[in-house]
Amino acid sequence: MNSTNGDSLPFLVRDCSLVAISTGKRAQNLRELRDHVLNIHEGSIYYHFWGGLLQPHFDDPQFNNDFANWSHYRLHDNILAERLAVIDPTDFDDLESLRRELVEILEQRLEELERPAWVPTDCQFHFVRSQIVVFDTGWRIEKPEHLPDLVGKMSVGSIFYHVIDARRRYPKGADDFQVWLRGFGGFERICEKLASIDPYFVTLVELRRKLSTILRMGFREALK
């Protein structure tokens, strides 16, 4: 973790990957999905909302989270899929509050359906949880003004770790870049713009581009 004491410590650039771990839990219908969501490891909630950003896909899923995609492609319940698709995990303070929202939507749909659909065994929802593996890239950013150029060169794993995973370590909306810059003082405007980014509905490449643009424009204005 980077210290907030930016006057003395460099920004340590990390990279990461998500290791997918099977929970052994599966759902063949909507009721089973709801029952498992109630008690599943919170790392599984995290994985099924965020894991798709780092995991390679051989297809082009229509929705951002796995619950919505399963509802659409397997249950063929487009009403439920649309409701699940609009959930933005950045709106919630923690994974437990996100879990409660997910359960509420599933239970509402169960009340509306007389007979929830079943899927074949080979189309079950497989609950997976994630374990993040973090490693040091060896990169060190000594001065804030070097940040814009170097962010644009970071791997998507580094972007995931320093922006998305950081939101589990800091208060809502904060990331490692903001925390480091605030240690120097004088970068509040840049930090406010960084905090305004919603990282959920963009790819990591697009997120990296947004970060780089905000930082470049922010430092350009600060140096006028």
Mean pLDDT for 160-181 is 90
pLDDT at position 44 over 90: yes
Split into its structural domains, the chain has a count of 2
Rounded mean pLDDT of 156-177?
91
> Tell me: the pLDDT tens digits for 184-209?
988 999 999 999 999 998 999 999 99
Last residue within a domain, chosen from 95, 129, 163: 129
pLDDT at 79 over 90: yes
76: left (phi over 0), alpha (psi -120 to 50) or beta: left
Task: For residues 202 and 164, state if they share a domain.
Answer: yes
Residue for token pair 């003082």: 185
Q: Which domain holds residue 209?
A: 11-15+138-222
Residues 115 and 152 in one domain: no
Name the residue among 212, 210, 197, 208 with its Cα closest to residue 155. Answer: 208
User: Does residue 35 lie within any of the structural domains?
Assistant: yes
**Domain match, 71 and 97 both:** yes
pLDDT, residue 203, reads 92
* Mean predicted lDDT score pLDDT of the chain: 90
Percent of the chain at pLDDT > 90 equals 77
Interhelix angle 95-112/42-50, rounded to 10 degrees, is 80
The reported pTM is 0.88
pLDDT higher for 221 or 214? 214
pLDDT beyond 80 at 7: no
Share of the chain above pLDDT 70, in %: 93
2 in a domain, yes or no? Answer: no
